[in-house]
Structures are given as structure tokens and as C-alpha cells.
Structure 1
Amino acid sequence: MPRKAPGAKAKGLGAQLRVCRENAGLNLRQAAEAVDWDKSTLSRLETGKRNFTVEEVAHLLGVYRVRGALREELLAIARTIDEPGWWDQGLQGLPKESAILAEYESQADRITDWAPLLIPGLLQTMDYSRAWLLSVGADPATVELLLTARLRRQQILHGDVRYVAFVGESALRTPVGDAATSARQLATLREVGKRRNVSIRVVPSAAGPHRGQLGSFLAMEFASAPPVVLVELLRSSVFMDEDKQTGPYLATAAHLAGVALGETESARLIARIQARWSSHDGTEDLA
């Protein structure tokens, strides 16, 4: 049976092995020679373009002199590299980017979401998601598939991942669907924000110029692998895992922490805007 195509797990393992190689003081050519591989083969492994076998990982770890708990952790990942997640089962037609994102999220220890204009996907109600997808021209035949995938992705917030969402005030005030849909969405924000592992902080419109105005992003951090940042484009998504690419986004996240309201102040603002949506008759200005 052919091995499945490399996914986020292979990419994450490759990134961790790249760090191990660099810590061992070896460049790509030296490491490839040490294991008697072509340089291109090792490069494809490190960039997640080729799956690993357990034997290959063990060989590399021996060359890099990796011992103890880290060695066992990386070998365990290699042993389960082909085990499917929910994104591989029963959701035919799910976009590749969505499956990759779900796999990364399932492995992350910390996720930071910056959403200046729209409620973050991991916090969206199904009514809000459906209304937004249909309003931007999504194929109605695929909307329910996307909603099912989003609902499953949201289950990670019931686990141990530390999730921090910076939400622009504009996202709270922009109507998506009818007023009742917006009110329910903000009620959900308040409820999810009470979880011990979730922090929701609003960046007020009055905050003035700040680095986050350049656009939204999702940063995922892992216990023993480099972080991955997702930036969504109009018709595709870009995943970045090199330090020179992810560094500016992580710095922007730290900057947002300095301009956002605290959790308590954010919850109060969300409650006030929710109340106005609840009483909105379609003519009142919510600005």
C-alpha cells in the first residue's frame, strides 16, 4: 500500500530534525554525507515534501547525537506519521489547506489568532460562519462541508492548547447575517472566553496606528518544533515555518498584547455590543 502524501505532521517533524541538525553544528551537505543520502533527499525530508520512516529518523538522530526524551518523542511522531486524523476521514472534498491547518492545530501547544475584521474561525458559531460564507460567494454545495470541518477544528479548544485571540473591535460591530446572528456570536465569545485555556482580547478602534493593521494571521507554536504562521489570501493560504518569516508575526502578536484591552475589559465591551445587537431593529447605528 502506498504511503499517504506528506502532511503537516511530516512537515513539523522535518522542521524539528532541521533544528537538531543545526544544533549538532552540521550543514545540509555534511549531514547528508554522514547518513549516505543525497543532499536533495535530506532537504525534502526537512521541508516536509517527503515522508519519513522510523529507521530514517533513528539514523538521523544518531548522527545528531539526540538522546533521551527528545529522541523518544521524535521517534513516536515518526511511528504515527501515517495515522489519519479526522481531516483524513469522511470529509471528501475538504480543501487541502483546511486539512493541513487542522493537523497543525491538533499538535500546537499555543495558538495566537489576530482577526481585525472578522470573528476568528475557531470562535465562530455555525450561523455566523454560514452567513459569512454565503455572503462572500462560497459554493452552497460545499458550505456544509466547510462548517463540519470548522466545528471539528473547534474541539481543540476543549483540550489543553493555550488559545489567545486578538479581535478587532470592527469585527464585533460588523453585521454578519441578521442582528440575532451577531448577538448570538458575541454571546458565544463571552462564554468561550471563560475557559481556562482561552483568552479573548479586543483591540479597540481607538488604539490608533499599530502593526496589526497590516493584516490577520494565525500563529501556532509547538513544544519542540519551530512555530508555523498561516496567512490567508483571497484564493489560497500560505504556511510559513522559517524564523525569518515567522519572527515578524510573533513580534506583532507581542505588540498586540500591548494595545489590546485586558480580558475583563474586553468581556465588558463584548457584552455591551452584544446587548445593542440584541435590541437592534435594523435602523440603529451601532458605531
Structure 2
Amino acid sequence: MDVIQRASDAEETGEGGQKARDRVLFLRDELAPSAPCMRLGGELREKREGMGLQQQDVSTALGWSKSKVSRIEGGRNAVKEQDLECLLSLYRVDEKDQEPLRELALIGKRPMWWKPWSGITTAYLQAVLSFEDMAQRIRSYEPLYLHGLVQIPEYAQALIERGPDQGYHAALAELRQMRQAKFAAARGKELICVIDEASLRRPVGNAQIMRRQLRHLMELNEDPRYQLRLAELSRPNLPLEVGPTTIFDFAEALLPTIAYSENFDGGLVIQDEETVDRRVKKFDELRHMCLNPRKTTQKLHDLLRSKYYR
């Protein structure tokens, strides 16, 4: 299906000979990058560039297609053992540096916890699950609905049931609950979530579900791992043009920050450094203009009384 790649396989050269090294991928049904494979691919890319080689040089030397080299470096393919050994040899990687790369390759081939749901989930959702699994901090703004990690089961079920019924609704709802449980159980993770007031005033399900959902948000805001901020409808000039955006921050030296944006047709995975930086700055600008967590809790309480207890 469609894959939009900007300045990737061709490794286009910009002004001053600076290579445009990173990618912007639109995922629909194609292979999705996984965080462990992306980390290994990034390491291999650095080794290749350290040797002064282009992807075409590698494909010619090893008798591979150039797209295979690109998929490995982009994290969209788990690296086979024999392929990794060929790359280590070609890049003349020191013995002491080889074992960490082999370990990454093994991790990339292990079944992920969401494998039982892989047949009913989209490629872009699987990419999100991978990023959530390894991210240390997640920053998100969703203008239409609440982020999946803060939805109560009834709210999630009401959203899922809007999709075509192929017998998967119950399984998808179960996956969302498991996703939340995994995040809550992980140590050191943090979620910073900007909630648009419009998404709370537009009921999902019914008033009873929304009452439970708002109470749940207030409870989450008491947990230091969650920081919920409300974008008020009455606040002028909020920088909402950032649109639906999730930013994944990883532990130092694990992966660079990744931005993700989902729409009706698929998901945009953004690794391009300048593009990610622009989204991060715009998101942080929005976050700082929103209500702080304490005032957000008070606003949620007021909204609960004024709209869903009338």
C-alpha cells in the first residue's frame, strides 16, 4: 500500500552536502516499524555511514535489493542472523561491538505481547504499541477523542463499536485494556496528555459513560505518572494547528524522539529531526497554555456537574 518516504532510500543531498537522513512514513497496511528493530536499524545505518557507504553500495556488495537494506535500517524488517553477520563483516564492526547488535536482533524477532491481536489490528496501531512499550515518556494531544491510555472500558467499547462489526469488537476492547494495564504496571513511564474540552462535551456512548469517564480522568490526575491538561474552548489563540499528535520520548541512547499522527486512513510515523522538533515545540506551547493539572481537575468536576448531572 502507500508508503510516503521523504529523503530516505535515495539519501538525497541537500544544501552544503548535508544528507537528509530521516524519514516520514505513512502506514496503512504495510509492514510497520518496531522499536527494537528501529534501534538496530539505526545502529547499522551509523556503521554503514561510518564506512562512507551508500545503501546502493551495500546492496551491490551483498547481492541484496536496495529496498532490503532500506527496510532493515528503517526497522520494518527483523534482521536474519546470517544477514546481520554479513553486515557486521562488511562494516568491519569490532568484536566487542558485535554482541549488543546481535542481542538487539534477537529482541527484534521475539513475539511481542500483542501478538494474539496481530491479526485484527492495523499496522499503524502495532507501531504505536511498540513505541508505547519502549517509551519512557508519552506526550499527546487528541482533539476529537480521549487518548487510548486514559479511556474507561465503556468509553472504549462505544468508540470501537462505531467501526465495522467483523466479530472483533470484544477482542479490540480487550487489547485496549491490556494496553492500559501494561502502561500502568511499567516503572518510570509518564503520560502528558492535553485533553480538548470539545472531546468531553461531545458525548461518547451516553451520559452515564461520560460521568464515569470524567471521574476516571480526575483519579488519573492524582497519579504522578499522569499529567492531564485541559485545552479550554474559551481560551483564545491556542496553537491547535499541531493536530492529533503523540510524541514518544525514549531513554537516552535508545531511540531518538518519534512523533506520530493518526487520521481516518492511517498513521504518520515521523522521525525526521526537524519535523519532530517543530511538533515538540508546538505541543509544548499548547501544553503550557492549557489548564494545569489542578485546575484541570476542577474544570472536570465543574463539567461533570453542569453537563452530565443535569
| TM-score normalized with structure 2 length | 0.75
Does residue 249 of structure 2 align to residue 217 of structure 1?
no
Q: How does 1:219-258 map to 2 (within 5 A)?
A: 219-223=247-251, 224-258=254-288
> CA offsets, 1:248-274, max 9 Å, x none?
221222111221111111111112212
Does residue 218 of structure 2 align to residue 190 of structure 1?
yes
In structure 2, do the counterparts of structure 1 residues 147 and 167 end up closer, same or farther at CA, with 3 Å as the change threshold? same
Q: If each structure's helix is expressed as a fraction of its own residues, which one has the higher value?
A: 1
Q: Which runs of 4+ in 1 moved over 6 A?
A: 64-68
Counterpart residue number, 1:9 = 35
Q: Distance in 2 between matches of 1:197 and 1:61?
A: 44
Counterpart residue number, 1:158 = 185
Instruction: Work out whether residues 117 and 175 of structure 2, in 8 Å CA contact, stay in contact via their aligned partners in 1.
Output: no
Q: Distance in 2 between matches of 1:255 and 1:221?
A: 17
Return the letter of the residue paired with 2:194.
F
> CA offsets, 1:126-165, max 9 Å, x none?
111222333x444263221221111111121332212110
Q: How many residues align?
A: 273
Counterpart residue number, 1:283 = none
Q: Distance in 1 between matches of 2:71 and 2:33?
A: 13
Once the two structures are TM-superposed, the CA of residue 96 in structure 1 deviates from its matched residue by: 2.7
SS of residue in 1 equivalent to 2:108: coil
Larger deviation, residues 193-202 vs 268-277: 268-277
Once the two structures are TM-superposed, the CA of residue 229 in structure 1 deviates from its matched residue by: 2.1
Q: Distance in 2 between matches of 1:259 and 1:20?
A: 39
Counterpart residue number, 2:175 = 149
In structure 2, do the counterparts of structure 1 residues 273 and 66 end up closer, same or farther at CA, with 3 Å as the change threshold? farther
Instruction: Work out whether residues 229 and 241 of structure 1, in 8 Å CA contact, stay in contact via their aligned partners in 2.
Output: yes
Does residue 270 of structure 2 align to residue 203 of structure 1?
no
In structure 2, do the counterparts of structure 1 residues 125 and 38 end up closer, same or farther at CA, with 3 Å as the change threshold? same
Q: Distance in 1 between matches of 2:256 and 2:44?
A: 10
Q: Distance in 2 between matches of 1:230 and 1:236?
A: 11
SS of residue in 2 equivalent to 1:209: coil
Instruction: Work out whether residues 183 and 275 of structure 1, in 8 Å CA contact, stay in contact via their aligned partners in 2.
Output: no
Counterpart residue number, 1:179 = 207
Instruction: Work out whether residues 217 and 229 of structure 1, in 8 Å CA contact, stay in contact via their aligned partners in 2.
Output: yes
Counterpart residue number, 2:306 = 276
SS of residue in 1 equivalent to 2:203: coil
| TM-score normalized with structure 1 length | 0.80
Counterpart residue number, 2:88 = 59
SS of residue in 2 equivalent to 1:80: helix
RMSD between aligned alpha carbons?
3.2
Return the letter of the residue paired with 2:284.
A
Counterpart residue number, 1:110 = 137
Q: Distance in 2 between matches of 1:72 and 1:162?
A: 31
Once the two structures are TM-superposed, the CA of residue 196 in structure 1 deviates from its matched residue by: 2.1
In structure 2, do the counterparts of structure 1 residues 59 and 137 end up closer, same or farther at CA, with 3 Å as the change threshold? closer
Percent of pairs identical after alignment? Answer: 18
> CA offsets, 1:192-219, max 9 Å, x none?
2222221111111223223323421211
In structure 2, do the counterparts of structure 1 residues 213 and 28 end up closer, same or farther at CA, with 3 Å as the change threshold? same
Counterpart residue number, 2:103 = 76
SS of residue in 1 equivalent to 2:264: coil
SS of residue in 2 equivalent to 1:249: helix
In structure 2, do the counterparts of structure 1 residues 266 and 25 end up closer, same or farther at CA, with 3 Å as the change threshold? farther
